[in-house]
Amino acid sequence: MLNNKVAFSAQYGSANYNLTTPASDEDYITYYYPTFEDLYKRADWSKPSKVTEAVDNSWNDVRRLREGLIKSNPNTIEVLYSVKVSHNEDPIWNDLYGIREEITRVNLSHLFDASFGIFHNAMKLYKKKMDRGEEVKAKKDAANGFRVMQTIYDYYKKDYTDYASCLWYDEHIDKGARDHLLRMKQGLTSEKFIKEQMGQWYVMAEQLRPKFHSHYRNDDLVDYIDHIFETNVKANLIDELGGH
């Protein structure tokens, strides 16, 4: 990927929620443009390439970003709300950032399903790791699952607006919820509390599902997102090949 032009790099994970602990890693994702050779040889862009440096940095083709945004993957959408981004005024970042709220709403049905899927998988991991005696790791998974459900609940309560504030846990406004999640990430929460929270979120999920599923995908916006990626990938290829 040394020959690929970087579109932008963004931090992801705990820093974007204001939920870092002393044990938190600094994780970044870097999106790059495909070269002519990538396209000609049909390089497999669907699989991310993990590179370990001073910080963890996952490298991905920008077309993978497109897929995640159109499918309303909350982990991909989070990139547009990152607290630390290096983009050098690249057009694709500016184009996407300018409509990030609209992109977040592009497919609310899928956004809920993907968020619930993350939560449900986190609960399964919690149970498996607890059975193996990996208590701290298990409770960290539980905290992640609860955070995702809290985000989607807050987003519904805000009438599907201001996703940034739904992701972020303010030290003062959200002190109670933030303290609970930080303690849970460090393995300091009781199993009883986690079990109660788990049950409550499964019940809430059933109430939220029809709310999100009542919305249709915004096909016009999907076409516009496609246009953004097509235009920028094409411009980069023209520049690479010395065209006009």
Co-location of 158 and 204 in the same domain? yes
Distance, CA of 37 to CA of 132 (rounded, Å):
46
Quick one: pLDDT at residue 153? Answer: 98
Co-location of 223 and 200 in the same domain? no
pLDDT, one tens digit per residue, over 152-174 is 999 999 999 999 999 999 999 99
Residue 203 sits in which domain range?
108-213
Co-location of 127 and 153 in the same domain? yes
For residue 117, what are its two tokens? 């899927």
Q: Where are the alpha helices (DSSP H) in 41-185?
A: 62-70, 74-77, 91-97, 100-104, 108-131, 135-157, 163-167, 175-185
Quick one: pLDDT at residue 38? Answer: 87
- Domain assignment present for residue 1? The answer is no
Distance, CA of 114 to CA of 149 (rounded, Å):
11
Co-location of 135 and 197 in the same domain? yes
Contact by Cβ (8 Å): 12, 85: no
Of the candidates 107, 109, 114, the residue with the CA atom closest to the CA atom of residue 148: 114
- Domain assignment present for residue 68? The answer is yes
- Domain assignment present for residue 209? The answer is yes
- Domain assignment present for residue 183? The answer is yes
Co-location of 68 and 132 in the same domain? no
pLDDT, one tens digit per residue, over 178-208 is 999 999 999 999 999 999 999 999 999 999 9
Here the CATH number for the domain that contains residue 20 is 3.30.460
Average pLDDT over all residues of the chain: 93
What pairing do the DSSP bridges indicate for beta strands 49-52 and 27-32?
unpaired
Co-location of 173 and 147 in the same domain? yes
For residue 91, what are its two tokens? 């057009």
Query: Given CA atoms 117, 17, 14, 137 in this order, what sign does their dihedral have?
Result: negative
Q: Which residues is 112 bridged to in the sheet?
A: none
- Domain assignment present for residue 156? The answer is yes
Quick one: pLDDT at residue 210? Answer: 98
Distance, CA of 70 to CA of 226 (rounded, Å):
9
Contact by Cβ (8 Å): 67, 40: no
Distance, CA of 115 to CA of 119 (rounded, Å):
6
If you ran DSSP here, which 8-state letter would residue 50 be given?
E
Co-location of 83 and 118 in the same domain? no
Co-location of 64 and 50 in the same domain? yes
Co-location of 194 and 149 in the same domain? yes
Distance, CA of 68 to CA of 107 (rounded, Å):
11
- Domain assignment present for residue 77? The answer is yes
- Domain assignment present for residue 29? The answer is yes
Co-location of 152 and 86 in the same domain? no
Co-location of 140 and 80 in the same domain? no
Quick one: pLDDT at residue 218? Answer: 98
pLDDT, one tens digit per residue, over 210-240 is 999 999 999 999 999 999 999 999 999 999 8
Distance, CA of 173 to CA of 78 (rounded, Å):
21
Query: Total domain count for the chain?
Result: 2
pLDDT, one tens digit per residue, over 12-67 is 999 999 999 988 888 999 999 999 988 888 766 555 555 555 468 889 999 999 99
Co-location of 117 and 75 in the same domain? no
